Amino acid sequence: MRLSIYKLYIFLIAFTFSINLSADEMLTKNWSTLKNFKITVDNSGFILPTTMAFIPNNNNEPKSPNYYVLELGGNLKVVLNNGDVLDYYRNFIPNKNPETMDQSGAAGICLDHETASIFVTYAYDDIDTGEKRNAFIKFNHNNNEFGIKPDNNQIFERLFLNEKSHSAHQIGPCVIDGEFIYIAVGYGLDKSEAQNINSTLGSLIRLNKNTLKAPKDNPFYIDDDKSTAQDFIWAYGFRNIFGLLKVKDSIYFTQNGGNIDSFGLIEKGKNYLWDGTDNGIASNSEYIFTPSQGLVSLIYVDKDSDLPKEFLNKFYIVSTGATGEYGPGDKGKSVWILDYDIVKKEVISPPKEFVKFTGENLQLPVEIDFKDNNFYFFGIMPENNDYSTNIYKVSFEKNFTHSNLIDEYYLNINQKEDLIQIESTSIIDYYINNLRYRHLIVIFLISTIFGTIFIVNERIFLPSIKSSGFLFFLN
C-alpha cells in the first residue's frame, strides 16, 4: 500500500529525551516572542489538547478549579489554583477507540458563568451505521459553582442523527451569549451542504442554553422539532469555523480554506457564501489571510488589561501553519496580533506575530486564552517523554528580553520537505532518515516489542497509546 504524505499528513512523534538540554533551554529553542515578554511553562501532562477555558473570578483557594483543558480523545481535565491536574470527566465520547488517532473527537468548550455549566462539542462514530456524527454534552453543577467533578450531564445529539460528519471539519467551537449558545459546525467534507439550510453542516447554530431548543427568533425557524436543522441555523455558508468569540455585542469567527483564511463578523441569517472555492472563503469576511495560515483559536484583549496600550484592543489569533512540515515552516505556526477596530468594524493595520514556533520538530499551535494580564497557549502535538503537551504562559515583564526574539527569527532554517510517496512498511525508516533533531536522541521501539501497526481505511491502529512510538495523522 502506498500512502501520500500530502493526502494523509502523517505525524510521527517518537519517544524522545534530551542529554544536556534543560526545560528552559528547550522552551527557548522552540518558541519566540517579542521584547518585554517572558514565556514560561504553566503546566503539563495533557494528551492531544484541543482547547481550554478559564473560570472567571474564581477564588484563590489552592484546591479550587482555575481552568479546564479538553483533550481530543474525549477527556476533560481541570487545573487547580495550586497547579494540580485532575480528571474532570473521562471517555465521554461514545465508541471512541483510544488506539485510533485521527481528527475526530472533542473539539470545543464554553462555560456558562450564570449556571456554572460546561458545554463540550465532539464528533463520534455511530455504532449502528459506522458514520461520523456530531454532538455535544452539557455538564452541570448543582450548587452553581464550577467544580472538579460534574453532578450530572446531558447529551444532545438528535439534531445531528441524520447528518454525516467527518473526521475532519466536524463540529467545533461554541460561545455563550446571554441565554443562548452558538455552536459552529464544519462542512463534513461535503461542500454542497454549506449552502443547504436543511443541514447544520457548514453553519452556525443557536440554541437556548437551558432548554436546548431552537429559539423562535432564529432566522429560519419553522417548528419546534428538535431534529429540524433550519430551526437552529443562525448563519450558514461556512467551510470550517475554528475560532468563535463574543466581543461586546458581536460574535467573531476565523475559518481556513485551501489557500486563504478569513476573519469575520457573524450576522443573523447571513450566507457567508462558501461554495468550495477560495472566493467563497473571502466573501463576507472582514480580513483575509493569504496565503493560508491555518487560523484556529482567537481572543480579544480590551482596555481593562494592564498591558501596554499598544497591545490593547486587539485580537490575538492562533495559526497552525503548514501542518505537514517540520520546524516553523514558511506559513504561520504563530499567534498573530490583529488590530481591528470593533466600533468602526475595520482593520487598522496588517497582522504581526506575537508568538512563533521555531523548533525543529512537529508542532501545531491550536489554542490561546487570556486571564489576569497573562496569555496562555499550547500546541496539540506531544513534546514530552510521556507524550504530553505543555501549556505556556506569556507575561509582560518590562526590560525583559526573551532569549529567542521574533525579530531574530531563524531565517536560515529550511525544514520544508518535498512531497513524496512512501511505502507503509517503510514509515519508520523514512522518519529515522529524515528527522534532524540536533540535541535529541530519538528512539523507535515499535514493532516486535509493542506490536504491529495496521493501516486500514486511512486510520492508524496502535496496540496502545502508551507505546514508545506515537503516531497521529490528519486528513
CB 428 within 8 A of CB 455: no
In the chain, which stretches have pLDDT less than 70? 1-28, 97-101, 323, 407-475
3-state secondary structure of 191: helix
Q: What is the per-residue pLDDT for 326? A: 82
CB 260 within 8 A of CB 282: yes
Q: Where are the domains of the chain?
A: 23-418
Average pLDDT in the chain: 81
CA separation for the pair 297, 254 (Å, rounded): 8
3-state secondary structure of 160: helix
CA separation for the pair 232, 234 (Å, rounded): 6
CA separation for the pair 410, 395 (Å, rounded): 23
CB 236 within 8 A of CB 192: no
CA separation for the pair 387, 16 (Å, rounded): 9
pLDDT, tens only, 41-92 = 999 999 999 999 999 888 889 999 999 999 999 999 999 999 999 999 999 9
**Residue 356, Cβ density class (10 Å: 0-12 exposed, 13-18 middle, ≥19 buried):** buried
- Could you tell me the three cell numbers for 116? 456554572
Cα-to-chain-centroid distance, residue 284: 23
CA separation for the pair 431, 454 (Å, rounded): 17
- Ramachandran angles phi, psi of 307, nearest 5°: -70, 160
CA separation for the pair 327, 224 (Å, rounded): 51
Domain with residues 23-418, CATH architecture: 6 Propeller (2.120)
pLDDT, tens only, 106-137 = 999 999 999 999 999 999 998 888 899 999 99
Q: Which of 339, 204, 215 is nearest to 272 (CA)?
A: 204
